[in-house]
Amino acid sequence: RIPQGMDPGLPGELLSGYTQGTEFSIKHNESLRTITVGEANGECVVSGADAVVLEITEQGVSITGTDPAATMRGFITMLERIEYDRASDSFRIPCGHIEEKPHMAFRSVHLCLFPETPLRFVKKCIRACGIAKYSHIVLEFWGMLKLDCKAELAWPFAHTKEEIRPLIEEARALGMELIPM
């Protein structure tokens, strides 16, 4: 179960990717900042900016962050802990209590969109940044975004806002903020 405002597509796709294509039923819960798997106990107590707590028991997993971005980083931590058990041909997550807080509030990367840069590659980069738990991405367009105010600043073959919007949504869904340049 995921928070109300979270789109189930990305968590489901990531979870499936970490479990060799296993499909999951993802539903929304009442919380705005907790993800639960199985019969988890619900929200954990979290303190401090950008902090997240994972409570992993035999019954389920509870991931609670101080905000949606922290909760998504906790979800990524859960993905990192998934193990495959050959004997039972199943996946498991070792039980435990994990509290995480980044050492730096601003963790960023700078990505450039050049004429030869496919948007699919940029999406892969954004996803890698999310998995690496960056907080911000500086996205520099190099004339590859058609602007409303100054059309002459973009290449004729530049991307439209509608083409770029899914990249922005992907970054936000992974708990990152985009900084346009």
Mean pLDDT of 98-119: 94
Q: How confident is the model at residue 42 (pLDDT cuts 50, 70, 90)?
A: confident
Q: Looking at mean pLDDT, say which of 29-33, 86-90, 117-121 comes out highest.
A: 117-121
- Residue 111 has φ and ψ, to the nearest 5°, of -115, 140
Q: In sequence order, what are the residues at sequence separation of 6 or more whose Cβ sits closer than 8 angstroms to the Cβ of residue 111?
A: 122, 125, 126, 129, 137, 138, 139, 140
Q: How far apart are CA 109 and CA 9, in angstroms?
A: 24
| pLDDT confidence bin for 154, thresholds 50/70/90 | very high
State residue 114's pLDDT score.
96
For residues 94 and 25, the model is more confident at 94
CA distances from 168 to 44, 47, 73, 86, 147 (A): 30, 29, 17, 38, 16
Yes or no: say if 93 and 83 are a contact pair by the CB < 8 Å rule.
yes
pLDDT, tens digit (0-9, with 9 covering 90-100), for 136-147? 999 999 999 999
Half-sphere exposure of 42 (CA within 13 A, CB side): 3
Give pTM, 2 decimals: 0.86
